[in-house]
Amino acid sequence: MIDIAVFDEHKLMLEGLVSLLGGVSDLRTVLICDDRGVLVQKLKAMQVHVLIMNIRDISVRNLNLIIQLTISSPKLKILIVSMIDSEETVLKTIKAGAKGYLGADSDRNDLLEAIYTLRSGHDYLSKSITHLLLNRYISGMQTGESDQPAGIGSLSLRQVEILKMWGESYTNQEIAERLFISVRTVESHKNHIMQKLNLKSTVDMIKFAIKNNIIEI
Amino acid sequence: MIDIAVFDEHKLMLEGLVSLLGGVSDLRTVLICDDRGVLVQKLKAMQVHVLIMNIRDISVRNLNLIIQLTISSPKLKILIVSMIDSEETVLKTIKAGAKGYLGADSDRNDLLEAIYTLRSGHDYLSKSITHLLLNRYISGMQTGESDQPAGIGSLSLRQVEILKMWGESYTNQEIAERLFISVRTVESHKNHIMQKLNLKSTVDMIKFAIKNNIIEI
DNA sequence: CATTCCTTACGTGAAACACGTAAATCCGTT
DNA sequence: AACGGATTTACGTGTTTCACGTAAGGAATG
């Protein structure tokens, strides 16, 4: 018997996911949750084998949640379910502590397979993801470089975090206070971002952030 | 008996949605689809009462799909399911032809209710959405203003000109040179723009410029 | 003719930017 | 275990931009 927790901020999708798990004899859905805070609290207090977590983006929010869960519930296997089939997303979630990733074209069978695989102690990546990583790896070796001029992938988590806050109209001072770092450090981060992305002005930086869904308009 | 089509580009979520519809006696899921092109083709050829369409953003792609379906299948009622609870998103999808909108906190009951409501010829907006729109409307009426905070119309030609150049990453110095005015004047213009539009930061000013098609991203 | 808005411009102090330097730390590779 | 590279932190210095106020000449409008 495998104990499952399911998390999704979108209630309907959450119910849909849970519904997909119904009728499987050796799976038991013990936690259904659409609130991040509640999720962490509940998981701390109970023994769950696999957490199915649906995410829509790789915001710092989401990555932090994964990291937090990895720390607070070390035995828990986190299975990410996401529409996003990008190398970057997969790597970042895995790095944050997730043990499995189901991409856009995964179906119910893949979901079940992933659950069993995770339960048995192994990692699981869906076929499309495996292909993606392989292709990138191969083409990466051939060309030596990726095709993007310089993307969000080249930014570190911290850099994205600063960019996001700044894009939400926080001043350097406010960012510094919230992150408990010096204003100069915030400036440094922004400088590094500009260098990496080869941007000439802050205006370009905002445009970049919007293009890459780091901030909303 | 109501004939339902379900569309979602994310296969797992698609299966989840379909699963939520199972076991309801007077609903018949006649089309399950995760491909936009196939969706349009199939719907043209068959009689479906309600299409449940899950979207993750209000990209032009998605809006166009709604518009296309509205034209090619006029009898079809489109029910949007989305995580996004913003006035803008709702209005745009409705404008595009959707007849219903289920926001983030809708559950299976709301989904069923929405289907029946649409089938009976009425529109359906989830409670959170209705509240959102009402509140906006009320607060708009109280202030004596329309829903727009302050539009591009309130800016003078010169002000738009400066905003445009600045949004294209020109520095104040460059703008001054090109317009044969002092840097201080450029600053003045920007100050006046911020005052008029009641913006707190330059970041907001860029967002405004993008929203109002003064600059491109 | 008074009023209002537009355009121009300055003063001043605070904030942000540009560019360099640098130390501690983490991470992957050898 | 050691090396090289990226990350995060931070400062120095000089320039630019921001925030807020003031202001004068001109066009438009009632």
B142 falls within a domain: no
Q: Which residues contact B69 (CB under 8 A, 6 or more apart)?
A: B39, B40, B43, B51, B76, B78, B97
Interface test with A, best of B12, B15, B190 (most A CBs within 10 A): B12
A108, A176: one domain: no
A122, A162: one domain: no
Residue B153 confidence (pLDDT): 77
Name the nt closest to B202 by C-alpha to C1'.
D18
Give residue A132's pLDDT band: very low, low, confident or very high (50, 70, 90). Answer: low
B202 falls within a domain: yes
A84, A10: one domain: yes
Give residue B57's pLDDT band: very low, low, confident or very high (50, 70, 90). Answer: confident
A138 falls within a domain: no
Residue A129 has pLDDT above 80, yes or no: no
Residue B106 has pLDDT above 90, yes or no: yes
A62, A155: one domain: no
CB atoms within 10 A of CB B34: 19
Percentage with pLDDT > 90 across chain B:
67
A127, A151: one domain: no
> How many angstroms separate the CA of residue B170 from the nearest CA in chain A?
8
pLDDT in tens, A91-101: 778 888 899 99
B21, B107: one domain: yes
Poorest-confidence range of A116-130, B103-117, B179-193?
A: A116-130
**A187 is near strand C: CB distance < 7 Å:** yes
From the C1' of D11, which residue's alpha carbon is nearest? A184
- Taking CA atoms, what residue in A is nearest to B215? A207
A162 falls within a domain: yes
**A187 is near strand D: CB distance < 7 Å:** yes
Residue B199 has pLDDT above 60, yes or no: yes
CATH number of the CATH domain containing A96: 3.40.50.2300
Give residue B139's pLDDT band: very low, low, confident or very high (50, 70, 90). Answer: low
Q: What is the phi/psi pair of residue B149, to 5°?
A: -65, -40
**A64 is near strand D: CB distance < 7 Å:** no
CB A87 within 8 Å of CB A136: yes
CA distance B10 to A58: 16
Helix axes B183-197, B172-179, angle to 10 degrees: 110
Mean pLDDT of B193-215: 91
Give residue A213's pLDDT band: very low, low, confident or very high (50, 70, 90). Answer: confident
Last residue of a domain, one of B99, B131, B163: B131
Residue B134 confidence (pLDDT): 65
pLDDT in tens, A34-59: 999 999 999 999 999 999 999 988 77
Give residue B150's pLDDT band: very low, low, confident or very high (50, 70, 90). Answer: low
Instruction: Give the residue with greater pLDDT, A133 vs A16.
Output: A16
Residues in chain B: 217
pLDDT in tens, A107-128: 999 999 999 999 999 889 887 7
A40 falls within a domain: yes
B140 falls within a domain: no
| Cβ contact, residue pair A102, B211, below 8 Å | no
Residue A138 has pLDDT above 80, yes or no: no
**B173 is near strand C: CB distance < 7 Å:** no
CATH number of the CATH domain containing B172: 1.10.10.10
| Cβ contact, residue pair A210, B202, below 8 Å | no
Mean pLDDT of B21-41: 94
Mean of the per-residue pLDDT values of chain A: 87
pLDDT in tens, A53-78: 999 887 777 888 898 888 888 899 99
Measure, in angstroms, how far nucleotide D17 C1' is from residue B93 CA: 40
B217 falls within a domain: no
Structural domain count, chain A: 2
CA distance A73 to A80: 16
For residue B78, give its domain range: 2-131
- Taking CA atoms, what residue in B is nearest to A84? B10
Q: What is the phi/psi pair of residue B170, to 5°?
A: -75, 145
User: B100-102 and B77-82: which strand pairing?
Assistant: parallel
Residue A44, amino acid: K
Taking CA A213 as the corner, what is the angle to CA A164 and CA B34, rounded to the nearest 5 degrees? 150
Poorest-confidence range of A148-162, A165-179, B60-74?
A: A148-162
Q: Which residues contact B40 (CB under 8 A, 6 or more apart)?
A: B65, B68, B69, B72
A136 falls within a domain: no
Poorest-confidence range of A95-109, A201-215, B1-15, B85-99?
A: B85-99
Give residue B86's pLDDT band: very low, low, confident or very high (50, 70, 90). Answer: confident
Integer-rounded Cα Rg, in Å, for chain A is 19
Residue A150 has pLDDT above 50, yes or no: yes
Three-state secondary-structure class, residue A35: coil
Nearest to B200 among A111, A169, A210 (CB): A169
Last residue of a domain, one of B131, B161, B187: B131
A14, A118: one domain: yes
Residues in B closer than 8 angstroms to A171, CB to CB, are: 201
A175, A123: one domain: no
- Taking CA atoms, what residue in A is nearest to B81? A12
Poorest-confidence range of A13-22, A122-131, A136-145?
A: A136-145
Highest mean pLDDT among B83-87, B113-117, B149-153: B113-117
Residue bearing tokens 């580009």: B9
Measure, in angstroms, how far nucleotide C12 C1' is from residue B186 CA: 17
Residues in B closer than 8 angstroms to A168, CB to CB, are: 203
| Cβ contact, residue pair A15, B169, below 8 Å | no
A32, A119: one domain: yes
Strand order in the sheet with A27-33: A27-33, A2-7, A50-55, A77-82, A100-102, A124-125
Nearest to B108 among A12, A168, A171 (CB): A12
B44, B110: one domain: yes
Which helix (H) or strand (E) is A148 found in, with range?
none
Residue A195 has pLDDT above 80, yes or no: yes
Last residue of a domain, one of B131, B165, B187: B131
Residue A152 confidence (pLDDT): 77
Chain A residues with at least one Cβ partner in B under 8 Å: 9-13, 15-17, 19-20, 22, 54, 56, 81, 83, 102, 104-108, 110-111, 166-169, 171, 200-204, 206-207, 210-211, 217
- Torsion region of B180: left, alpha or beta (phi above 0 gives left; psi -120 to 50 gives alpha): left
Tell me which DSSP letter residue A152 carries: G
Nearest to B20 among A15, A102, A169 (CB): A15
Q: How is B164-179 classified by DSSP, letter by letter?
A: HHHHTT--HHHHHHHH
Burial profile B84-117: b = 16 or more Cβ within 10 angstroms, e = fewer: bbeeebbeebbebbbbbbbbbbbbbebbebbbeb
Rounded to two decimals, the pTM is: 0.68
B166, B110: one domain: no
B108, B178: one domain: no
Mean pLDDT of A185-190: 95
